[in-house]
Amino acid sequence: MMWKIVKKSAQLPSSGHQLCFVRVFSVGGKVGQQTQLEIAGNLSARSDEKWTQAKTYGEMPGPSSLKMISYFMPGGALRNTNLIQMNRRMREMYGDIYRLPGLMGKPNVVFTYNPQDFETTYRHEGVWPIRIGLESFSYYRKVKRPDVFGGIGGLVSEQGKSWADIRNKVNPVLMKVQNVRQNLPQLDQIAKEFIDKLETLRNPETHTLQANFHEELKNWAFESISFVALNTRMGLLSDQPDPNAARLAKHMGEFFNYSFKYDVQPSIWPFYKTSGFKKFLETYDNITEITTNYIETAMQRFEIKDDRKTKSVLEQLLELNKQVAVVMVMDMLMAGIDTTSSACLTILYHLANNPSKQDQLRREILRILPDPKGSLTDDNTKNMPYLRACIKEGLRITSITPGNFRITTKDLVLSGYQVPAGTGVLMGVLELSNSDEYFAQSADFLPERWLKTGSTPDGVQACPEARSRNPFVYLPFGFGPRTCIGKRIAELEIETLLVRLLRSYKVSWLPETPMQYESTIILAPCGDIRFKLEPVD
């Protein structure tokens, strides 16, 4: 297995050649299918003044390959660290920009905490941005199970033209606001059922839940994404939930842990399939089996004509391309549980710890929903500036991922250093979002910083001066053509649930310690998670 750079003769929309990384997987001693990461860029060497006056890539701080390996050995500086701890320790050792050598066939990576570097990277990413995703994901789908996936890796792992072909098909379905918001009535109904479920679990004297709130929130997230993706109700908020949903949630937890171990940390799996990696493949198999069954059942149901007004994502994509539809919906079911539930839990935690902000938000909610039994509609949810500001502020303090990643498509100068085309760049947005240098009173939960000038209909004064003037510091869903494809759906789900929760309850945080997070390939709340839910009169 190897990485290599080759020149392509085919011309791209932007002038120049293609730079192509080719990962050759070995399967059973034979050369397997290749995964190509095509980079649209000009291979001619830069000779402008900014480039020639910059320090060379070799002068950039960072460990050697052997030093990097030693960090992960017993007693090493990065031994048993999660992603955030690893990034912070490296930054302490090497500063605001440093390079890591490519290990086990991976490309070199530059870590930067300079928002000017973020902008430079994004502005030069080209029409086909390259973001190396999960290599195990691509290996499983393209090499191990082509019988299921037909050579399609999905938006996470595809690159170049193949990525663009998929993205162009799914964008109108998943990124068009009107198309996503057609799901509001059913998502509101699911949120209502979630509140009803909480009532059955809530102790009326202590106002605490006799259940794991995080797990209940995952059930809500899966019920919601299942409807959007498949027009299917799983019954997870009823007394008779689908047992396979719990299995999928369990396997997704395993997936995130395994992926951090085998896709983020150095691993020999591309050369030798260890017993641990084989268990990872078993997890992939279990996830594929469950999601495939859901999709096949839904497709059979679609053959029966009915009077439904809302078409699921699967139905809409099936009209364009069956294989893309199946892969995309499978990705939605995988990605739509832990990410959305973690984000919602984080925002609720900050509101619980800031009762004055929660009270202000409730005034807005009471204005749009005076009757708790009323319905949320496109009309009454148009003007919710404080709710959306609270969501932004929660994701500023604790985003789902600590940074955004790209492969440079051309030679760049970052923080005064030459960074050759084909180098990975990890942009540490989470650290900067929690820095007073970019956000005044960064440790405080201050939704007002996201309001536009003036005041809200409920009299809340905006405080835009507390917001960073650099738009590249806050990017919870990424930027540009590779912006998170689930952004619109996640925002609608979170908005709907928060309205219902805070219309029904005054929420307080019970543990004496702050919420804890585990960091694999996402940030997920963990540990003691308990809220007090007092009914709103």
Model confidence over 108-133: pLDDT tens digits?
999 999 999 999 999 999 889 998 77
- The whole-number average pLDDT for the span 439-457 is 90
Q: Which residue would you say has higher pLDDT here, 243 or 344? A: 344
Q: Say which DSSP state 130 is in.
A: B
3-state secondary structure of 82: coil
Cβ proximity of 62 and 98 under 8 Å: yes
Per-residue pLDDT at 12 exceeds 90: no
State pLDDT tens for residues 373-424: 999 999 999 999 999 999 999 999 999 988 899 999 899 999 999 999 999 9
H helices present in 124-159, as ranges: 135-139, 146-149
All domains in the chain, ordered by first residue: 28-125+402-435 (no CATH), 160-401+476-535 (1.10.630.10)
Element (H, E) at 474: none
H helices present in 375-486, as ranges: 385-397, 429-433
Cβ proximity of 43 and 7 under 8 Å: yes
Task: Give the whole-angstrom CA distance, residue 95 versus residue 76.
Answer: 19
Nearest in space to 122 (alpha carbons), one of 433, 398, 434, 429: 429
State pLDDT tens for residues 495-521: 999 999 999 999 999 999 999 998 888
Indicate the residue type of 439: F
Q: What is the pLDDT of residue 29?
A: 31
Phi and psi angles of residue 218, each rounded to the nearest 5 degrees, phi first:
-65, -40
> What's CA 503's distance to the chain center, in Å?
28
Q: What is the pLDDT of residue 32?
A: 33
H helices present in 424-527, as ranges: 429-433, 487-504
Q: What is the pLDDT of residue 500?
A: 98
> Distances from the Cα of 422 to the Cαs of 39, 63, 271, 402, in angstroms?
7, 19, 22, 22
484 is in an annotated binding site: yes
3-state secondary structure of 518: strand
Cβ proximity of 124 and 407 under 8 Å: no
Task: Give the whole-angstrom CA distance, residue 176 versus residue 180.
Answer: 6
Per-residue pLDDT at 206 exceeds 90: yes
Task: Give the whole-angstrom CA distance, residue 377 versus residue 380.
Answer: 5
